[in-house]
Amino acid sequence: MSKPLSIVFVGMPPDVVTQLCAVLQAGGFSLNSHQFDDAQHLSAQALASVDVFLVDSLRIHPHIVEQIQVLLSAPALDIPVLVYSSLGDEAAIVAAMKAGAKDFISSKNPQRLLSSVQRELACVAKRAEMRSQAVADNLLQEMEGWMLQGQDLVPLTQKMCEAIARTLAVRVAWIGGKQADGSVSVVAASEQPELLRQLEVRWDDSPHGQGTVGQAIRLQRPVMLTVDAQVISPWRAMADHYGVQSVLALPMLARAEIIGVLVLYSAQRDGFDALRIQRYAHFANRLAVILLMAQEQEQLRLLSAAMSGATQAIFITKPDGRIIWFNQALCSLSGYSAAEISDSTPHLFSSGGYDKNFWKSMWQEILQGKPWSGDVLNRRRDGAAYHVLQSITPLQNALGEVKHFLCVQQDVSEKKELERKIEYLAYHDVLTGLPNRALFNDRMRQTVSQARRDKANFALCFVDLDGFKAINDAYGHAAGDQLLKQVASRLRACVREVDTVARLGGDEFVILLRDANSEIGLSQIAQKIIEQLARAFELSVAMVNISASIGMSRYPADAASADKLMRCADEAMYRAKHGGKNRYVFYRRDSVSDEILDWQI
């Protein structure tokens, strides 16, 4: 079955659109395409259904990519923009990447559009999955906090359903309890629980047990059906009332037993794909544990049992911090044995990364009977660090005296790592690992501020590869990626650790050289870069050669602002390229330097 693709062509001739559609269709896509003369005809409302933009050469429409990026920024849409051109010159490629395009496809090789679209769609899906997983984890963490606050079960469940419907963007979310007589009781719902409670839902073999809920509990797996399924007929009136097109029922497993079901109603027929179902199934099981623990808080004996079997590390201390009770999860999380933990203090897990004021503030809070929570970096017995979300609740007697502290630690190391990866992807080039344009601009602004304050010097070096496009077209995108990785490695080797090498896009790199302003020293660096990039590159398909055109600007001699320095270096680089390539040029205020070093390799 062909994969659907919603693509928008902007400013492209009809015959070219027909040709490119054929390429994508031959690659397995079924197309929903639209054509516009320019970006101003695009409406923000229609953008949500678009998968990719393909625009014509920036020389014909110089601001088309920027216009589209402005439209996408308001609703924060992650839609790649590709540039297709018959011009094929390096200036057009550089302009496209500077404007924010994800790739440049030459009319000489239209077949490369297929791999470019596939790659960009995969990147969009990966970023969306990471964001969705982070949203689900944050919601569960928030719910665990509600549970630990000691809220009653029914109001807590109602609050959870409302949060689930809002966060997961479904029409209705409700939680049902599995009863011994074969029925399913509606515990709480995000909307009008009274109406849902009038429904007859069962999990046994009766006719009312053949819907999504009954099947999910009996089969012990998620079940998704659209409302036109025959087994949904007893509940179709309710589905029409809520505007539901598809239903997903997720069994809630806790302690090897199904205790209930989480039911989600979507206004879309395709609202639940395989990836979402898998993620929501894990979500439902963790939600079951939270609800079960909330229920057991109502009685001290059941609460103790729940704490002993909880996945979070839990312990109780005396007012002086001595641990008098803890669960097995604390041993598993910290790596310390029960004998080592018993009668010790939480200092046993300390990473040593906090000053005395941090702990002093915490003790002031809890000794006053106030709960405290925070993100804490601990250290295991083997020396490995781990992050926990730590909540401390003072336990008071009838006179209001603090007699004990209840501490709950949830391991959030994976969450922290996921956040670190998301932040890394936002500020680094995925292919080379170098800082991207956003991170480089930030470092430029910081360097300018520091240099202005310290009256220091620094330089900017624009590096553009000569001959990269020919290699990319001849040997394919994979070979081009290999070449770019090797170029990045050689550029890093040419400068110091305090300097910054970044990839702005395509085959354009930029280097921030701190504490460097001497033309002699900069000439030596430029010469070294030219020599290193002139050496043959060994790719998996062939040995190839390229050269580099380099433009250099200096602070404060050439400019006193980050933007102006970038423009100066860029202008010098283009002069080097137009002067025959494989050379470097210094920027001059009155004119670009004629002092050009030409390396014939």
* pLDDT higher than 70, residue 601: no
CATH assignment, 3-126: 3.40.50.2300
Homologous superfamily (CATH) for 311-413: PAS domain (3.30.450.20)
Confidence at residue 543, expressed as pLDDT on a 0 to 100 scale: 94
Task: Determine the pLDDT at residue 43.
Answer: 66
Question: In what helix (H) or strand (E) does residue 426 lie, and over which residues does it extend?
Answer: helix 413-427
What CATH class is the domain 428-598? alpha beta
Distance CA 200, CA 232 (A): 12
pLDDT tens digits, 476-510: 989 999 999 999 999 999 999 999 999 998 899 99
pLDDT at 576 over 70: yes
Architecture of the structural domain at 150-300 = 2-Layer Sandwich (3.30)
CB 313 within 8 A of CB 388: yes
**Does residue 3 sit in helix, strand or coil?**
strand
Q: Which residue carries 């079997």 as its tokens?
A: 309
Tell me: pLDDT of 301 over 50: no
Fold matches, 150-300 and 311-413: yes
Q: What's the DSSP call for residue 464? A: E
Task: Between 48 and 29, name the one with better pLDDT.
Answer: 29
What average pLDDT does the segment 380-385 reach?
Answer: 91
- Tokens 């598809």 belong to 246
Give the pair of three-digit tokens for residue 142.
Answer: 């928030």
Strand runs (DSSP E) across 45-194, as ranges?
A: 52-55, 81-85, 103-106, 172-178, 184-189
> Is the Cα dihedral 360, 362, 364, 367 positive or negative?
negative
Assigned token pair, 145: 């906090």
pLDDT reported for residue 411: 87
Measured torsion, CA atoms of residues 550, 551, 552, 553, in degrees rounded to the nearest 10:
-160
- Rounded Cα–Cα distance for residues 488 and 510 (Å): 10
Q: Which amino acid is at 487?
A: V
Between residues 94 and 171, the one the model is more confident about: 171
pLDDT score at 192: 72
Structure-token pair, residue 91: 């200036």
Token pair of 546, please? 């390229």
Name the residue among 38, 7, 11, 10 with its Cα closest to residue 21: 7
Q: Which residue has the higher pLDDT, 399 or 218?
A: 218
- Sheet holding 500-505: strands in order across? 500-505, 508-514, 458-466, 547-555, 583-586, 597-598
Mean pLDDT of 417-428: 82
2 pLDDT tier (thresholds 50, 70, 90):
low
* Strand ranges for 481-558 from DSSP E: 500-505, 508-514, 537-538, 543-544, 547-555
Task: Give 265's strand partners.
Answer: 172, 247
In this predicted model, what pLDDT tens digit does every residue of 214-247 receive, in sequence order?
Answer: 999 999 999 999 888 888 888 888 788 888 899 9
User: What is the percent of the chain with per-residue pLDDT over 70, rounded to a whole number?
Assistant: 92
pLDDT for position 550: 96
φ and ψ at residue 483, rounded to 5 degrees = -65, -45
Mean residue pLDDT across the chain: 85
Chain centroid to Cα 117, Å, comes to 20
With CA atoms as reference, report the closest residue to 503 among 486, 528, 525: 486
Q: How confident is the model at residue 598 (pLDDT cuts 50, 70, 90)?
A: very low
Instruction: Decide if pLDDT at 39 tops 80.
Output: no
Least Cα distance to 55 among 111, 112, 96, 88 occurs for 96
Q: Which region among 242-256, 299-313, 323-337, 566-580 has the lowest average model confidence (pLDDT)?
A: 299-313
User: Is pLDDT larger for residue 261 or for residue 37?
Assistant: 261
69: pLDDT strictly greater than 90: no
Read off the pTM: 0.44
| Residue 8 pLDDT exceeds 70 | yes
Q: What is the pLDDT of residue 305?
A: 58
Residue 186 pLDDT > 80:
yes
192-228 b/e (C-beta count within 10 Å ≥ 16 → b): ebeebeebebbbeeeebbbbbbbbbbbeeebbbbbbe
Distance CA 157, CA 288 (A): 11
Type of residue found at 143: M
The tokens 């609740």 sit on which residue?
Answer: 393
Q: Please report the pLDDT score of residue 96 as a whole number.
A: 74
Burial of 519: CB neighbours in 10 Å, binned 0-12, 13-18, 19+: middle
| 8 A C-beta contact, residue 247 and residue 232 | yes
pLDDT tens-place string over residues 442-487? 999 999 999 999 999 999 999 999 999 999 999 998 999 999 999 9
Task: State how far the alpha carbon of 582 is from the alpha carbons of 449, 529, 574, 577, 589, in Å.
Answer: 33, 10, 12, 7, 23
Domain boundaries, the chain: 3-126, 150-300, 311-413, 428-598
What is the per-residue pLDDT for 579?
A: 86
What is the dihedral sign for C-alpha 48, 49, 54, 55?
negative
